[in-house]
Structure 1
Amino acid sequence: MSADNKTDNLQEILDLFLGVVLIIDDEIENSTSSIFKISQEIERLGFIVVKYKQIPNEDIFKSLINISFIIIDWKIFPVSGDEEHLQIPDSLMQNCIKSVCDFISKVSYNSFSPVFILTSESTSIINDKLNEYDTKKFINRIFIKNKEDFTENCSVSFINSLMEWVQKIPAIYVLKILEKEIYKAKNKTFNDLADVSLNWPFLMFEIFCNDALPSSCKKKDEFIHNYLPDISFSFMQFLCKLFYSRINFEQSFNESILNKHKSTDCNDDDIISILENERFIRYNENSNLNFAYTGDLFKINDNEYALNLRAQCDLSRQDNPNLYCIKGVSYNKDFLKIKVKQNEICLNESIKYSFPIKDKAKLEELNEKIRTGRFFISGSIIEHLPEVFITFVDKKLTLKFDLNSFYIVSFKDIQKNRIGRLLPPYITRIQQKCSNYFFREGLLPSPKEFFV
């Protein structure tokens, strides 16, 4: 990498991280300490620095959601004045370390705030301690640096550390790019709507309330109160569509950062989990499970599923709506890859048929494989007419849904089996294929003798 490119990369990283930084260190007000000098340099670079000598209480945690990053000392002692020179008991030392780990865990649970740990101890010792506590699950996003690394050319060392950090943890770089574009889209969305009317939230929320209100309902306010979560869901979908349309998708990413990590660094289970997050929301004990949603997936047993296709506007108008479901199963059979050469056809590379095929049994075998097999071509599964496949859901490689299996069931009868929700455009594709299948016109078959 040329010197100019490296400088541009460093400036890009600095611009991405600019914002509010939280520093927690018991020596932050000591003008001779290294953390005091680091704090001054960070402010000189354009950051807003919030300083604490002790770990703050949990009241401020909600304020840390949009923090650029956190710098915390590994050992924060609750002492001051002449007591600083006293010998710290080992039990107190361990309590201080535990407090730091607890703070990092609680912050990391609520946000993806990057965390710097500055210390004078070895990295391995700190990693061992982090693994002893709940911090273990967040250890990959924690960056540990020695305070002495910042004693000379502090600002340069700090920016280089940010670059080293994002190269080690590329998710932080992607997070900062996304935050930047989301901030722009948010402002564009609300400025556009405010130019029309500052009362647009009242107007749109009333539209969604009226849409959900049954024609027979005589107590509008009571209905809205009871169905507020569902109405809010529809209102939030509307806002997200407005917001989504204003995101700049032409934002380019830095190849020198993202291209350093090869796919071989992930195992198959990691890749499946990442792809699942793109198309499927898994419900947990904190999810609102009182209402039915389009795309709800129900697990009947280890191998059987039900998928709700009914439109959201119909689901919103009833306390216990009927769901329009199709049945699905976990599909574990091999898919075929077909390759036609000049004198032969290959199935999965290993099964080859040479032309011309004179053996009638061989020809029937090939026809049977083509007629009954499922082919995988260019990243897609070629489906038969009454079926649809969805990949990477519920930690399964493939689920197969049968369009002939359509049935109606009340939401409350199957509610306890709900595990999550299939997202657009995947649920939309299945709805469209299901609709085309149900309402297709039966055609008279053409005599094959005229064509073969």
Structure 2
Amino acid sequence: MDIKELFKGVAVVIDDKINDKESGDLILNIIEKLEKENIPLLKYNDIPDENIISDFNNVSFILLDWELFEKPEGMYFDEKPFIDNVINFIKILQQVTFVPIFIFSHLESDTIITKLSEEDLYNDRSSNYIFVKKKSDLISDEDENKVFTEIENWLKQTPSIYVLKEWENQLNQAKNKLFWDFYNINHKWPSVLQKTFTDDGSDVNYELGNFIFKNIMARTEPIKFDEKILSISDDELSKDELRKVLEAERFIRNESLPDIPHTGDIFRYSVNGEKNDRYYLNIRPECDIARKRNPELYCLKGKIINEDDINPEEQKDNEIRFVNGAFIEKVNKIYLPFVIFGKIIEFTLNDIKIQKWNSIKADRIGRILPPYITAIQQKYSFYLQRQGLPAIPEKAIVNN
């Protein structure tokens, strides 16, 4: 892992001593180390205005001092407003970008971590995107690269940031390839595609964005992640935590979706006027939906299963078998695990409901992602083409 390569790009440094060359503050040594590695820095001696913070969405990292003030000697000084300002800055950043924050201060790390934890910005039982370290622990006569060594050690314990930085680098390379490829073909390529999508009756904004995304992914080189950083033991993850991660991998909640219909949309509906865990899943192909303002959706009906029916100790008529990491599904049923707060939904293939988008869009709760929705579409297609066979007499199989 090349830590300097991972964190290449413009970084932001906020420290009240950043321009005070006579202060002897260790931030000056840290900045010298960063600039020696050709990391371009945006420097501030105080928290910047909120309209500037909104432009931090593409920075590589934020290096932040905790105490952006000078304590007067022998006098009472209320530091709370200054600390609150730092905390507010971090909370604003959360709304702008997901970026590693390095808090390097003269204070002991535990003091800062305690305050961050009180504000729900730090969980000392887990890895965190905020790295807190005392400045004096980052400078060493024996190790000129102590700053990078400490960041690397922290990164090895923070897989979410590690994956982000590896992915960002590959994504940026693919993005550049895409736009240079098409620019060299025709400078007006977006206009050409706009006309094509318009003539086809499609939503230009959606189709052009989707086109760019697919082409970037096609140009992305396989990422070689460090397995040692990503590995986790079974006892580090509870059943509920595992379900939450698996849900995020296959299901997007409605608040993160655009207001347009799509294959995989899932809706909650009422039976006898009550919201009682009944769902519609749209399996109509995307190409049929995109061209219409108020398309018809082909919806499978589903309900949350009783998990006591999975592999019961005593045989039951409605039992559900789970073997070798997969559900054994009957020909007319599909099980979709870990969506909607980790629940498992059973969809039936023999009862499809046609619904207009405008009539049920207010009930959409999220979307099932590929390859899960693709597998459901494939099984439904197979179900429609199935060939019934006569039953085998029990006497031919079972011993009397």
Whether TM-score is above 0.5 comes out as yes
Q: Tell me which residue corresponds to 1:58.
A: 50
Distance apart, 1:131 and its partner CA: 2.8
1:122-170 CA-to-partner distances (Å, cap 9, x unmatched) read: 2222122223336357992111111112343474210111112102212
C-alpha contact 2:282 2:300 (8 A) present in aligned 1: yes
SS at match of 1:292: coil
Distance apart, 1:264 and its partner CA: 2.2
C-alpha contact 1:22 1:71 (8 A) present in aligned 2: yes
Q: Which stretch of structure 1 is more off in the superposition, 123-132 or 148-157? A: 148-157
1:334-367 CA-to-partner distances (Å, cap 9, x unmatched) read: 5767xxxxxxxxxx8x78xxxxxxxxxxxxx7xx
Q: Tell me which residue corresponds to 2:218.
A: 245
Q: Which has the larger radius of gyration?
A: 1
Within the candidate set 108, 133, 144, 2:132 is matched to 144
Q: Tell me which residue corresponds to 1:268.
A: 239
SS at match of 1:326: strand
Within the candidate set 186, 211, 221, 2:175 is matched to 186
* 1:132 lines up with 2:118 in the alignment: yes
Distance apart, 1:28 and its partner CA: 0.7
C-alpha contact 1:102 1:135 (8 A) present in aligned 2: no
Q: Tell me which residue corresponds to 2:390.
A: 445
Q: Tell me which residue corresponds to 1:195.
A: 184
Distance apart, 1:247 and its partner CA: 1.4
* 1:44 lines up with 2:16 in the alignment: no
Within the candidate set 149, 154, 169, 1:160 is matched to 149
SS at match of 1:390: strand
1:237-272 CA-to-partner distances (Å, cap 9, x unmatched) read: 2221111111112x322234333x424222222211
Q: Which stretch of structure 1 is more off in the superposition, 187-196 or 95-104? A: 187-196
Runs of 4+ aligned residues of structure 1 deviating over 4 Å after TM superposition are: 84-89, 136-139, 334-337, 446-452
SS at match of 1:54: coil
| C-alpha distance in structure 2 between counterparts of 1:396 and 1:100, whole Å | 36
C-alpha contact 1:27 1:35 (8 A) present in aligned 2: yes
SS at match of 2:43: strand
1:25-45 CA-to-partner distances (Å, cap 9, x unmatched) read: 010112222111211111002
| C-alpha distance in structure 1 between counterparts of 2:227 and 2:348, whole Å | 43
Q: Tell me which residue corresponds to 1:30.
A: 20
After TM superposition, the score normalised by the length of structure 2 is 0.88
Alignment of 1:185-334 (within 5 A): 185-212=174-201, 230-249=203-222, 251-259=223-231, 261-284=232-255, 287-289=257-259, 291-300=260-269, 301-334=275-308
After TM superposition, the score normalised by the length of structure 1 is 0.78
C-alpha contact 1:42 1:155 (8 A) present in aligned 2: no
Q: CA distance change for structure 1 residues 293 and 137 in 2, over 3 Å: closer, same or farther?
A: farther
C-alpha contact 1:65 1:111 (8 A) present in aligned 2: yes
Within the candidate set 64, 76, 89, 2:68 is matched to 76
Q: Which amino acid aligns with 1:437?
A: Y
Q: Which amino acid aligns with 1:243?
A: I
Q: Tell me which residue corresponds to 1:379.
A: 325
Alignment of 1:376-415 (within 5 A): 376-415=322-361
| C-alpha distance in structure 2 between counterparts of 1:25 and 1:164, whole Å | 23
CA RMSD of aligned residues (A): 2.6
Q: CA distance change for structure 1 residues 187 and 88 in 2, over 3 Å: closer, same or farther?
A: farther
Q: Which amino acid aligns with 1:245?
A: A
| C-alpha distance in structure 1 between counterparts of 2:159 and 2:331, whole Å | 42
| C-alpha distance in structure 1 between counterparts of 2:214 and 2:396, whole Å | 49
Distance apart, 1:87 and its partner CA: 5.8
C-alpha contact 1:212 1:313 (8 A) present in aligned 2: no
| C-alpha distance in structure 2 between counterparts of 1:55 and 1:135, whole Å | 18
Q: Which has the higher helix share?
A: 1
Distance apart, 1:105 and its partner CA: 1.4
| C-alpha distance in structure 1 between counterparts of 2:89 and 2:30, whole Å | 22
Gaps of 5+ in 1: 1-8, 214-229, 338-347, 352-364
* 1:116 lines up with 2:89 in the alignment: no
C-alpha contact 1:335 1:376 (8 A) present in aligned 2: no
| C-alpha distance in structure 2 between counterparts of 1:382 and 1:324, whole Å | 25
Gaps of 5+ in 2: 270-274
Q: CA distance change for structure 1 residues 335 and 177 in 2, over 3 Å: closer, same or farther?
A: farther
